Structure 1
Amino acid sequence: MAHRPGVQRDSLRGHDARLSFTLYELLRHPGVLAKARAQVDEVLGTESARFEHLPRLGYLDQILKETLRLWPTAPAFNVTPYEDTTLGGRYEVPAGQPIMILIPQLHRDKAAWGEDAGIFDPERFSPERAAEIPANAWKPFGNGQRSCIGRGFALQEAMLFLAKLLQRFEVTAADPGYELQIKHTLTMKPEGLFIHVRRRDVTIAASPRADVEQARQ
């Protein structure tokens, strides 16, 4: 791939699907990207992002959760009734019958998310609105005993990555006319999504941990 001075071009293929979809949505919504960068600059300044910063980076958390709503990494999970039951007063399901829940359909259910359910809007997960989300309407990490045990860590890790990326780089689309294509394997991910990144004019101070390590040496 050709490179221009100060510009790195990278394919998101094979990288974390969650963050790939996040960058895809941020590039499509420059207002959200600008708001996220402003919060990162306010909270971090020239400090390197640490776990202690996360409670003050709530907008990044909203962005990631809204991305997972529209683009859950795993597309489905199964549930099975313990006894004969009727769903919605219409569908009789015998005990032991597996039922596949399609998560993208669940996450776009207008009865749960409103008429704009197909639109990317991180404000759905703002402190004021998050309490209105119906129970079991958001299931990006699976369900019940089979749900992802590392979901908390996964979100924290993604927030730290996103904070460091926005703090240090300007991000633009390599192809402004890119149209999303989904690659289905065990998970879902964007197909052929490329980005340009340019280093921002910011000097990151050494973290306290790095200072301690240097003092030990």
Structure 2
Amino acid sequence: MRTIEYGAEIVKELNQTLALIAEEEAGQLADKIVRAGKVFVAGAGRSGLMIRAFAMRLMQLGIEVYVAGETVTPSFGKEDLLIIGSGSGGTSSLVSMAEKAKSLGGTVALITISPESAIGKRADIIVKLPGSPKDQSGDGSKTIQPSGNGSKTIQPMGALFEQTLLLFCDAVVLKLMEDRQLDSAAMYGRHANLE
């Protein structure tokens, strides 16, 4: 298969997964982002990179947002929201972070393949994204969950979840832009300029 054909297959898989996301769950997350005092995001590995990209866009929308664990991140409080992006919902450092946020009286949102996970059991808001859990079979035939239609992913490890996470977060940004009547020009005023 040629590189372009692989790309077309990835886009096909993403179209399948995006069509399966519950609009109500997405709406709950967007609403809570707007109402939160401060928004914190967390994730590990490639999922962490996607959730950091989300934080960047939220900042450009004028939302007070921080990446958990950074040296300049302030304290978390009861009016605050922690958004965790984790396919498994079981990464131990993120489970501990969710527990701490709950103990401080804040809200925890989880974007995941696994709503019944350790973090899912602690979350106030769960957005279930279809995707294939990481495994080590290497056979390129993992089922896209929760489609139930036998669809397969050709992608390795958690790539489908990570891509879906990025696209989902960008869709939430577009919804927030619409609700706040902001355009790209307004957001550009908050773009980094020490580059």
Which TM-score tier does this pair reach, normalised by the shorter chain? 0.3 to 0.5
Provide the TM-score with structure 1 as the length reference: 0.32
- When Rg is computed on C-alpha atoms for both structures, the one with the higher figure is 1
Provide the TM-score with structure 2 as the length reference: 0.34
Q: Which has the higher contact order (CA 8 A, sep 6+)?
A: 1
